[in-house]
Amino acid sequence: MNERDERLRDTITDTFTKMNIDARNLAVEVVDGAVIVKGTVGSEDALRRLQSVLAEGRFGTRPVDCQVGVLATVPSDSLDGRGRSPVTGTSADSAHESRHQLDKS
């Protein structure tokens, strides 16, 4: 990637941040001024905002190739984020360990 492409990539990712678009699952590729954005966002609203930013033409005269889909994030089933079941309070691994601790043989 040349210096000009690198600056353009940085501008695009900075714009995503300013527009409150979670870009953790996005890859921005710039080759000779041509922009390709690939990956997923967490909602239809985020996709619309992303498409709006890319369609404004602020990143040059070439069209941007947007290969982005929506992959909704599944909420954690516990507040501590450790994957504990709300019913048992344990993860599958710790439930397995607990059974072996109870086995006195």
pLDDT given for residue 44 in this prediction: 95
pTM of the model: 0.66
Q: Which fold has domain 3-70?
A: Alpha-Beta Plaits (3.30.70)
Q: What is the pLDDT averaged over residues 14-36? A: 94
**Percentage of the chain with pLDDT > 90?**
55
Higher pLDDT, 101 or 21: 21
Residue 27 bridge partners (DSSP): 38
pLDDT given for residue 26 in this prediction: 97
Judged against a pLDDT cut of 60, whether residue 31 lies above it is answered with yes
DSSP state, residue 85: -
Which residues are within 8 A (CB) of 99 and not within 5 positions of it... i.e. 6 or more apart? Answer: none
Instruction: Please give the single-letter amino acid code of residue 34.
Output: A
Ordered by start, the domain boundaries in the chain are 3-70, 75-105
Residue pair 47/70 in contact by the 8 Å Cβ criterion: yes
Which of 20, 18, 19, 50 minimizes the C-alpha distance to 35? Answer: 50
pLDDT given for residue 60 in this prediction: 77
